[in-house]
Structure 1
Amino acid sequence: GKISVAGVKSLAPSLDTLGCFGRTVEDVALGVAAMSGDLDLATIENLHNKPRIAICKTADWGLASKEVASALALARFSAETIAKGKVSDLDLPPHLDGLREIQTRIMLNEMSRSLAFEREHFSKKMSPQINQQIVDGSQINYSQYATDLLEAKAASSYISELFADQLDLIIAPSAIGEAPHLKEGTGDPVFCRIWTLLGLPCINLNMASGPNGLPLGIQLIAGPGKDCFLLSAARALAKTLPDPVLRDQA
């Protein structure tokens, strides 16, 4: 909700989020500051206090490639330089294991309504995948949709308490492997779904390169409203990376 989505074609109003790509953390900070009007973001403060950091592999860790596992291990090593004590492991409680499915159902249900006009009049110009997603979404009844929204709200409250009491920063995988080639699409969003659902500020950093020389990323996730802190932590962590090219992200 930091950046207005006014004027953007809606896909799933409960989830739609604008962000930015940039060469460095500072470039991203400037972009988000300009788009949101929160000009404090344009100046990244040094990280003065050592944050409490945890690695969260999520329930979908089995989908991660060995290269992603290596990138996350490097992230842990780098995070220990800026952390308050040892970087811990965060296992989300079992009642949150279904968040990915909840996010998917909410997206498909809202998508089926947001794109109803386009499907009615221009279905032949839309990809088979999108047409099928619209059909799938239309088959999710309102009762299920309403239940999913309530579950998402409860999960958001739990995570907010977690950040308030135990953690400052979560590190999680960004994707199941290295960046795909353009013709293969944008890749599997499985590791982003739950953080999008929870509406938390996130930033991706490149940690390494995969077998094809394309980037492998991890994401840093902060508590609600902690955008300034997230940018400070991301820049601090990037400065600890052993590869000078990757350090340039700072």
Structure 2
Amino acid sequence: MTLMPRVPIDEWINASVQWLYNRIGPELGNVSDAMHSFLSTLTNGLMALPWWLVTLAFATLAFRAGKWRLSIGTVIGLFLIEDLGMWDPMIASLVLILVSAFVSVLIGFPIGVWCARQPLAYRIISPMLDIMQTMPSFVYLVPALMFFNIGPVPAVFATVVFSMPPVIRLTRLGILQVPEDLVEAATAFGASDWKLLWKVQVPLALPNLMAGINQTIMMALSMVVISSMIGAGGLGNNVVTALETVNIGQGFEAGFCIVILAILLDRISQQIGGTHHGK
């Protein structure tokens, strides 16, 4: 027997989510249909391209990012994915990762700028970011499934929420680390807030911004794999199938392809961001 009554947090959250669903559920259905159509078109379009053409595009991007060794490794890694018969699932995962990361940056960057300029805003948002980063990733699948049913759309929704905190935190950090004397000089010369941001603060904060994008991509990849449990498809679906059938070999192959994709995205985004140098 407990001395204090149980706090019904689950009932409060369920009631809040149900209230929200009753009011925006129909509108979200239209958004879900449009987004599902966009994701399907993009995925099918990339799958229709020859694998060697996509590989060549990635290798060229890796070479222009600054390393010929990375370009060669990209060719080898993507060739192995094709050889293992995992090309189409890889493309499906890649589309979800890139779309989720793009939306995360699109939302997270202005929030990070706002937090850098308004300390009170960051003090309010910071606990929310802590919760978003520490909450078990499986928890995000439940509301996403309720609002968007199964498929890639709830996967994108859950992935955006899960992977957005790094870009917010590192955008704020990068802007705050811009030397104050440069900000004062630009302001003294009559720079508006908009020019100050894009001409001074963003260029100097670019390494931190790119680090945030890199971390967002990596977190998006991990969440996309987990999202296969709600019908997102991709390489995670192969992992789930291997788990259900206790097929160790299939699970290793799918996991190996996920590792290749993670390394490629991580190295290319690091090189583009100027994290590493040298050819």
Q: TM-score, normalised by structure 2?
A: 0.24
More helix by share: 2
Larger Rg belongs to: 2
Q: TM-score, normalised by structure 1?
A: 0.26
More strand by share: 1
